Chain A
Amino acid sequence: MKHHLRMTIYALLTGAIMAGFSSPAWASIRVFACEPEWAALATEIGGDNVSIYTATHALQDPHHIQARPSLIARMRRANLVIATGAQLEIGWLPVLLRQSANPKIQPGKVGYLAAANYVQKLNIPNRVDRVMGDIHPSGNPHIQTDPRNIAIVAAVLLQRLQQIDPAHADAYQARYQDFTGRWNAALQRWQQQAMPLRGERVLVYHKGWAYLLRWLGMVESDALEPVPGVPPTTSHLSSLLSKLKQQPVAMIIYAAYQNSRAAEWLAGRADIKAVKLPFTVGGTDAASDLFGLYDDTIHRLLIAAQAK
């Protein structure tokens, strides 16, 4: 038994050392982005000076991610964690943070950026009760659906990168300015394009579009989920259908990661369009970067509105 034990310990140590050597050399700053939009933003501002790991992709529900070993391992060496915050990642990020054994990225440190802390949040409930479903006490966390919020977070991110990596402060500054210039131009364009959408009433799958709808002056009439986080039920869908007869809507919108069945079912019966929106970078083929994200979002909304 003693002999076995010694062998086991040798095996463990050898494994550890081999794993240590096999890790490749990286760029100076490691960014752990909880959602693809923040990874895309970090790419815009960080450029080649950062290496980015994206914890989730557009086909995953960011509320429900498993705290997988791979995520813990990636967070271990991160210099900066960019999360959405506002309790979006409450089911998994706290475990990652605690298990990562990485002091640099704990909340309160420069290496932890919760984007939602820097924008004004919508849907802040004045009463929280789980009867209301999976609501977020500090407000709606899906802030990335309004591109103006991206601009706000970009400024914060620039500052963080400059603090963490002062050697490349000028490079970050230059990339930030370049990005902001392009972003402002794009904002003008999007807002022009989206003019026809103003005042349109929409049904949403999950209350994840508050910021987009406010930005474009659209109105959320109801949600397919009976309460946030609870999947659509047949009875709720039928009650929505009868409501639609009195108060029609222009379309139903749902995110790429959500199951389209409920939306298609209702859309078919109410004779309206169900529109899949990318929700984040990578949600559709066209949404390959931040600019593509809003280009495609507005494009899809316009097509559905015209088809009405």
Chain B
Amino acid sequence: MNSIKKWAICALVMATYTMYPLQPLAAEINNQQEINNLKQQLQQTETLLKKMQSRLDRLEQRQAQASEQTIPAASPVVSPSITSPQYSQSQPLASPVAMPQPATSSGSASANAFNPEISAVLNGGYYMFTQPTSGFAIPGFAVGDAAGLGKRGFSLNESELDLASNIDNMFYGSLTVSLAPEGGANVEEAFVQTLNAPLGMTVKAGRFFSGIGYLNQFHAHHDDFLDRPLPNRAFLNTQFGDDGVQLRWLAPTDTFLELGGELYSGNAFPGGGGAFRGQGTWDAFMNVGGDIGYSQSWKAGLSYLQTRAIARDAFDAAGNVAGRFSGNSRLLLANMVWKWAPNGNPVDQNFRFQSEFFYRYENGLFGVTTPVSAYQGRQFGWYGEGIYQFMPRWRVGVRHSELFANNSGAAVITGGLLDTGGHRPRRDSVVVGFSNSEFSRIRLQLSRDATQPKVDYQLGLQYIMLLGAHGAHQF
């Protein structure tokens, strides 16, 4: 469209100049009258150009409008010539406005109309801990780099930039870049997804958050709590995503049934080192869901993830590598969510309960710098949370999460990363959230964190604000 526009403008300019031929710039150029004439001509040309340009714009607009609504008429039986005359007669009330007209132009449909949906998430807060955060660890778990606690005091969290759009009639694309407060950008998600694959299939490729479990695929700004549950932090390094492909199949049934599988590079935790020539992680998941009457809806799922880790790093609270693991890691995940809203209208009141169970079996080698000692880990974790919106804009939530590790092998040394010391990590939180609109949210969370033997009481106050396009939310 743009190049057409340029050509048209060029043509117009040329045409105008031929219509208003400039007089030869001869010797009498110093003649004042001549100069005035020239100025006048130039002005005329300019006005004409402006007129032409606005006419062209209008034409473009109309074309864009038309192409939006062009649905070939198959049957000539009736033309939806929308100004059906019969109504204009039956218009005794035809006050200032006559019969509603068919849709014409509704706003400016310029080339920018094809810009993707752009949105940004601003996120910051204040955090207080009663125990030093520097020594934080989850006893018995060799965790990834994102499993720890946040920073003390005031801090800006990751800001997020999202672009999403249909690419053409076959593909949808989405890009999420997170900007770390200390600088640097990180591609959080960048994927394309098919829109019209046959047989209920959807293929996704690129970097994306995995469809395993319930909470994992959501962006953090969607959450009702300030942080992810303990098991998500320990088993999935808060949120599992990697570079790969996903295939989903939606059953042609009235009850929601979805099967999916993913194949990943194997670089991201719980994988590491890109085993099997860069396809070290795979998973499969199944989700079923439905409604119970008008007021209740539910979804439940089962997922299995398997990976071969090659020298997967484990980190301490300071972000230093504290151990390395090589071997197989298998994770079984069961999840359910149940939602209630009176008459299915969540605007005034609604309630949600969700819970996930994790079981992981790892066997291989572990060591502080090189994986040399035998290690077998059987680890279990779960969380349950309830969120109740008791009146418009206000909600409260409670969450309990718990971990349990049973590790064995020569790698488990007293006081080491894999030694639980007989402790079961637990964490309880309550949260109060206020959303002035769908786009702004402020929340206060109190936690009793018994992840380590010394109980830590934590307070967090956080804002999350969404700028730009209105995103649609998944269930």
Q: Is the CB of B470 within 8 A of A90?
A: yes
Residue numbers in B under 8 Å from A159 (CB-CB):
71, 73-75, 78, 80
Residue numbers in A under 8 Å from B200 (CB-CB):
76, 101-102
Contact residues of A between 136 and 180, Cβ < 8 Å to B:
137-139, 146, 148-149, 151-152, 155-156, 158-160, 162-163, 166, 169, 173, 176
Residue of B nearest to A173 (CB): B77
0/1 string, A122-144, CB within 8 A of B gives 1: 00100000100110011100000
Q: Is the CB of B103 within 8 A of A121?
A: yes
Cβ of B261 to closest chain A Cβ, rounded Å: 10
Contact residues of B between 99 and 113, Cβ < 8 Å to A:
99-104, 106-107
Which of B75, B78, B193, B259 sits near A166, CB closer than 8 Å? Answer: B75
A184-B346 contact in complex given A101-B201, A231-B393, C-beta closer than 8 Å:
no
Q: Which of B79, B347, B393 has the most A CB atoms < 10 Å from its CB?
A: B347
Residue of B nearest to A139 (CB): B106
Q: Is the CB of B106 within 8 A of A216?
A: no
Q: Is B23 engaged at the interface, CB distance under 8 Å to the other chain?
A: no
Contact residues of A between 103 and 133, Cβ < 8 Å to B:
103, 106-108, 110, 116-121, 124, 130, 133
Q: Is the CB of B80 within 8 A of A158?
A: yes
0/1 string, B241-253, CB within 8 A of A gives 1: 0000000111111
Q: Is A70 engaged at the interface, CB distance under 8 Å to the other chain?
A: yes
A90-B102 contact in complex given A20-B252, A20-B253, A187-B90, C-beta closer than 8 Å:
no
Q: Which of A73, A149, A152, A184 has the most B CB atoms < 10 Å from its CB?
A: A73
Which of A15, A64, A87 sits near B346, CB closer than 8 Å? Answer: A64
Q: Is B195 engaged at the interface, CB distance under 8 Å to the other chain?
A: yes
Cβ of A111 to closest chain B Cβ, rounded Å: 10
0/1 string, B75-106, CB within 8 A of A gives 1: 10111111010110011110101011111101
Which of B195, B302, B472 sits near A91, CB closer than 8 Å? Answer: B472
Q: Is A304 engaged at the interface, CB distance under 8 Å to the other chain?
A: no
Q: Is the CB of A138 within 8 A of B102?
A: no
Stretch at the interface among A33-41, A189-197, A242-250, A286-294: A189-197
In the assembled complex, the Cα of A98 lies from the Cα of B93 at a distance in Å of 43
Stretch at the interface among A53-61, A263-271, A272-280: A53-61
Which of A108, A124, A130, A162 sits near B106, CB closer than 8 Å? Answer: A124
In the assembled complex, the Cα of A139 lies from the Cα of B106 at a distance in Å of 8
Which of A9, A121, A152, A169 sits near B77, CB closer than 8 Å? Answer: A169
* Secondary structure call for the A interface: helix
Q: Is A95 engaged at the interface, CB distance under 8 Å to the other chain?
A: yes
Residue numbers in B under 8 Å from A138 (CB-CB):
106-107
Q: Is the CB of A101 within 8 A of B197?
A: yes
Q: Is B434 engaged at the interface, CB distance under 8 Å to the other chain?
A: no
Q: Is A230 engaged at the interface, CB distance under 8 Å to the other chain?
A: yes
Residue numbers in B under 8 Å from A103 (CB-CB):
195-198
Q: Is the CB of B93 within 8 A of A15?
A: no
Residue of B nearest to A217 (CB): B95
Contact residues of B between 388 and 412, Cβ < 8 Å to A:
392-393
Cβ of B77 to closest chain A Cβ, rounded Å: 5
Cβ of B463 to closest chain A Cβ, rounded Å: 16
Q: Is A188 engaged at the interface, CB distance under 8 Å to the other chain?
A: yes
Q: Is B457 engaged at the interface, CB distance under 8 Å to the other chain?
A: no
Residue numbers in B under 8 Å from A72 (CB-CB):
250, 256, 475
Residue numbers in A under 8 Å from B221 (CB-CB):
none
Stretch at the interface among B126-134, B286-294, B310-318, B369-377: B286-294
Q: Is B37 engaged at the interface, CB distance under 8 Å to the other chain?
A: no
Which of A121, A134, A169, A257 sits near B345, CB closer than 8 Å? Answer: A257
In the assembled complex, the Cα of A85 lies from the Cα of B299 at a distance in Å of 28
Residue of A nearest to B249 (CB): A101
Which of B93, B97, B107 sits near A124, CB closer than 8 Å? Answer: B107
Which of A173, A184, A198, A231 sits near B93, CB closer than 8 Å? Answer: A198
In the assembled complex, the Cα of A50 lies from the Cα of B40 at a distance in Å of 67
A119-B251 contact in complex given A90-B470, A166-B75, A187-B87, C-beta closer than 8 Å:
no
Residue numbers in B under 8 Å from A73 (CB-CB):
250-251, 253-257, 289-290
Cβ of B474 to closest chain A Cβ, rounded Å: 6
A70-B256 contact in complex given A101-B248, A119-B100, A159-B80, C-beta closer than 8 Å:
yes
Residue of B nearest to A187 (CB): B90
In the assembled complex, the Cα of A273 lies from the Cα of B195 at a distance in Å of 50
Residue numbers in B under 8 Å from A215 (CB-CB):
93
Q: Is A12 engaged at the interface, CB distance under 8 Å to the other chain?
A: yes
Cβ of A235 to closest chain B Cβ, rounded Å: 14
Q: Is the CB of B472 within 8 A of A67?
A: yes
Contact residues of A between 74 and 103, Cβ < 8 Å to B:
74, 76-77, 87, 90-95, 98-103
Q: Is the CB of B92 within 8 A of A195?
A: yes
Contact residues of B between 174 and 216, Cβ < 8 Å to A:
193, 195-198, 200-202
In the assembled complex, the Cα of A101 lies from the Cα of B258 at a distance in Å of 11
Residue of A nearest to B193 (CB): A98
Cβ of A153 to closest chain B Cβ, rounded Å: 9
Q: Is A8 engaged at the interface, CB distance under 8 Å to the other chain?
A: yes
In the assembled complex, the Cα of A50 lies from the Cα of B314 at a distance in Å of 58
In the assembled complex, the Cα of A15 lies from the Cα of B200 at a distance in Å of 17
Q: Is B454 engaged at the interface, CB distance under 8 Å to the other chain?
A: no
In the assembled complex, the Cα of A280 lies from the Cα of B120 at a distance in Å of 35
**Which positions in B face A, CB cutoff 8 Å?**
68-69, 71-75, 77-82, 84, 86-87, 90-93, 95, 97, 99-104, 106-107, 166, 169, 172, 193, 195-198, 200-202, 248-257, 259, 284, 286-291, 294, 297-299, 302, 304, 330, 339, 341, 343-348, 361, 392-393, 436-439, 470, 472-475
6 CB-based A-B contacts, threshold 8 Å: A23-B254, A73-B289, A92-B473, A119-B102, A130-B437, A184-B86
Beyond the given pairs A15-B288, A59-B343, 5 more chain A to chain B contacts, judged by CB atoms under 8 angstroms and listed by A's residue number, are A23-B253, A60-B344, A191-B91, A195-B92, A230-B436
4 pairs of A and B residues whose beta carbons are closest in the complex: A69-B289, A103-B196, A69-B256, A155-B80
**Which positions in A face B, CB cutoff 8 Å?**
1, 5, 8-9, 12, 15-16, 19-20, 22-23, 56-57, 59-61, 64-70, 72-74, 76-77, 87, 90-95, 98-103, 106-108, 110, 116-121, 124, 130, 133-134, 137-139, 146, 148-149, 151-152, 155-156, 158-160, 162-163, 166, 169, 173, 176, 184, 187-188, 191-192, 194-195, 198, 211, 214-217, 229-231, 257, 259
